[in-house]
Structure 1
């Protein structure tokens, strides 16, 4: 399969990952339709990009009807990244965010079945693993500890239900970070939150003692995984991570070292059901997608280079 000159639907296209996907798809001369209700994404992320925008929530009752009317049922690929992507949001409005995630995904799969799209590429999360001891492979039994992880796992189960009629791949994305997160504010990645604080000579806020760790994966690797998953034969689920886990204390030290600063973190109590460590087994990512993800230091160097250009 090829993406060149294809018609694609990108949900959540005004968001962090969605807007980066669009910039990549433009290089393939794709006809791009963005479906976004701008609840977290911002129109600024789509500025000067050749896309058609539909202001609509993916979980709305008329979503399928409006998309078919607008596209005449002519869509080759769907990149579904239009759902809540933060444990914080789920904690604040659990029923609403769970419904948006699951109902929205059912709409995507029903639409895909009705118009016979070539493939659906959707965002799952490394959060589905929860209490399953890391590093986690796609063959581990998921044990999510929060509603965000449960919602993402539910979407994977739904995708499996439709598997005979809709070809799809769910990407279990770990802790993504990179330029373009400004609009996310307090729900941005820990890397971005720490970086912004230290750049402003403010103490970065850390839950607990900073020994918790995450598998941080740079946005360029995430987007490359998404694009390659679209055009290659894949299993139904693939991890997208760096394969290495860094503690928050280590991240803050690396940022300080790179900026020539020595700003200490401010430790605060942890919220309930807090994950201590995430780490992806990236064997399939390397073998099937042929991606060698960059390390955190290289990712931060790229991130800082982009910030210096702005």
Structure 2
């Protein structure tokens, strides 16, 4: 258990760095760890390395709301949350936004753990059918997001351009810097797409004085908001090609982020953690 505990501690530290530092993603930390694996594996073993990666992912998922709230630098899973989180921050209630997201994440863990255990049983039974339908399901989800958008034409163009960017980036990833053989194409992509734009935007204004006066949401309300977020996290954790950003966009169709800001924050907190936990279970279930 010593290598596993060491891995958990190391992963928690790595997750704190990636979750709190603008523009650094847990996937980038994973790529760096993979690059240094020849040195780490003899010390931690495969179980310890797995513990590092999982602890990094879970810790990052809890903490990523903090820069999204106070710095305006979202992760890919929290891009939409900048609007409700920032609006609460401008009202002096940024700490409230962070607490609600953390509690939503906690409810996401509570709901997702039994779902993950069930996934180990039912996903292998359905995976062959899902593999045949994956392309259609991805088109359906993106179609729902585009149709619900107020600027469907621009969003369609954005989907096309992002697809071309992905094809180019991963086909020519050898042009990026390498760390002991592990490519770091995610570093410029994630920093450029999610880090710098919001950092530049946030630098234009000042954060007002913050004060915490308690949470207006009851435990039952938090749980009810976290449940659809957990289901959305289950879906995107299962299907390839979708991320928590996709889940949060779908959630916004049921919980409007401009009218029900606090409930929406609880839902996306649950979605992010559910995606992380169920994603690991799916990875094991499909072999």
Same-fold call, TM cutoff 0.5: no
Choose between structure 1 and 2: higher strand proportion: 1
TM-score range normalised by the length of the shorter chain: under 0.3
Choose between structure 1 and 2: higher helix proportion: 2
Calculate the TM-score normalised by the size of structure 2: 0.27
Pick 1 or 2: higher relative contact order, CA cutoff 8 A, min separation 6. Answer: 2
Calculate the TM-score normalised by the size of structure 1: 0.26
